[in-house]
Amino acid sequence: MAGLDLTGRRALVTGGARGLGQGMAEALTAAGARVMIADVLKDLGEQTAAGIAGAGFVELDVTSDAQWETAIAHTVAELGGLDIVVNNAGIEVTQLIVDADPDEHRRMYEINLLGTTLGVKHAFRAMRPGGAAGNGGTVINVASVAATIAFPGIAGYSATKSAVDRLTRVAAMESGKLGYGVRVNCIYPGLVPTEMGVKLAVETSQLGLFENPDAAVAAVIELTPSGRLGEVSDIADAVVFLASDQSRFVNGVGLPVDGGMGM
Ligand code: NAD
């Protein structure tokens, strides 16, 4: 993204093996940062990292406190510090509330909410004064336009993303009050046709909410003033902005990056 310079910054991106996270890793690198991709998908994560100049890979299930500790220590050692953490890893379960499966919902809550909470926890511990990195920094959590609208078939997912939004604001307040020097913001991406985005269109139509996946996509576009779906780079550029000093007085916000869908 022209004009935003992250030279010398060190970033960790969860869920960076593919999709939006991969795009964020590429965009942060293009702006000058060095990136560690953290994901449960080892082979794909290593392959993705190999295609990004200076990037590394660390295996991480974001729901594991112990794995977070190891991943952060590895990142600080490999990159020589840590300035940016993007809590992007997430899953989406498409289900009507009347058919909510407890195990699938529990897993989604754990990854989307607990995983993000642990990401903020370990980012704070590393970046606050006296931490292994110790120079402050920025955390960017990935919520969703689903936190701001009532789209049928994704109640549990929407709830996790609303929770990420509130978590973000409290985290920014705690960081400020306790002098951590870490800004915490979140983004609400609109629908982007990654594996997750395509799955959502297919599954909401399978539930009978739309005639077919194309109709689901058309319904999203109809609700979007910009008149199109999101692209990976639309979302990644917003992350670069929130990681940069140009957003230095932006703290504790949820930034819609959805072409206006969630207004
Ligand atoms: P994706 O399914 O393509 O990629 C998600 C990545 O997260 C994968 O690499 C996956 O392996 C990783 N992941 C899943 N569980 C993990 C875990 N426990 N620990 C570590 N990594 C894990 O999805 P995406 O579309 O790239 O979505 C990325 C983020 O953006 C998610 O949080 C999603 O909810 C959010 N989002 C996506 C869209 C969209 O339309 N694609 C819209 C709004 C928000």
Residues tagged active-site: 157
Q: Does one domain contain both 219 and 135? A: no
Ligand 1 binding residues, C-beta < 6 A = 14-15, 17-21, 39-41, 60-63, 88-92, 111, 115, 142, 144-145, 189, 191-192, 194-197
The C-alpha atoms of residue 188 and residue 39 are separated, in whole angstroms, by 21
Q: Give pLDDT, residue 180.
A: 98
Say if 126 falls within a structural domain: yes
**CA distances (Å), origin 15, targets 47, 88, 203, 223, 254:** 13, 6, 22, 28, 20
Say if 261 falls within a structural domain: no
Of 230, 143, 247, the residue nearest 188 (C-alpha): 143
Ligand 1 atom closest to the Cα of residue 21 is: 26
Q: Give tens-digit pLDDT for 89-148.
A: 999 999 999 999 999 999 999 999 999 999 999 999 999 999 999 999 999 999 999 999
Q: Does one domain contain both 77 and 114? A: yes
Q: Does one domain contain both 208 and 241? A: no
Say if 186 falls within a structural domain: yes
Q: Does one domain contain both 197 and 252? A: no
Of 37, 85, 91, 235, which is best to mutate to test ligand 1, by the most ligand atoms within 8 angstroms of its C-beta? Answer: 91
The C-alpha atoms of residue 203 and residue 205 are separated, in whole angstroms, by 5
Say if 25 falls within a structural domain: yes
Q: Per-residue confidence at 2, pLDDT binned at 50, 70, 90?
A: low
- Rounded to two decimals, the pTM is 0.98
Say if 130 falls within a structural domain: yes
Residue nearest to atom 34 of ligand 1 (CA): 90
Any idea what the Cα angle at residue 194 is, between residues 193 and 200, rounded to 5°? Answer: 70
List residues bridging with 137 in a β-sheet. Answer: 182
Name the 3-class secondary structure at 61: coil
pLDDT(1) > 80:
no
The C-alpha atoms of residue 73 and residue 130 are separated, in whole angstroms, by 14
Token pair 């020097």 in the structure block, residue = 181
How many Å is the Cα radius of gyration of the chain?
Answer: 18
Burial 98-111 (b: 16+ CB within 10 A, else e): eeeeeeebeebbbb
CA of 39 to the centre of ligand 1 (A): 10
Calculate mean pLDDT across residues 191-198: 96
Say if 2 falls within a structural domain: no
Q: Does one domain contain both 25 and 102? A: yes
Q: Give pLDDT, residue 175.
A: 98
Say if 4 falls within a structural domain: no
Q: Does one domain contain both 107 and 222? A: no
Q: What percent of the chain clears pLDDT 90, i.e. is strictly above it? A: 98
Say if 120 falls within a structural domain: yes
Q: Does one domain contain both 82 and 204? A: no
CATH of the domain at 172: 3.40.50.720
Q: Does one domain contain both 132 and 210? A: no
Q: Does one domain contain both 38 and 58? A: yes
Range of the domain at 221: 192-229
Residue nearest to atom 36 of ligand 1 (CA): 144
Q: Does one domain contain both 197 and 184? A: no
Q: Give pLDDT, residue 3.
A: 79
How many domains does one find in the chain?
Answer: 2
Q: What percent of the chain clears pLDDT 70, i.e. is strictly above it? A: 99
Q: Does one domain contain both 185 and 98? A: yes
Q: Does one domain contain both 53 and 97? A: yes
Q: Give tens-digit pLDDT for 137-155.
A: 999 999 999 999 999 999 9
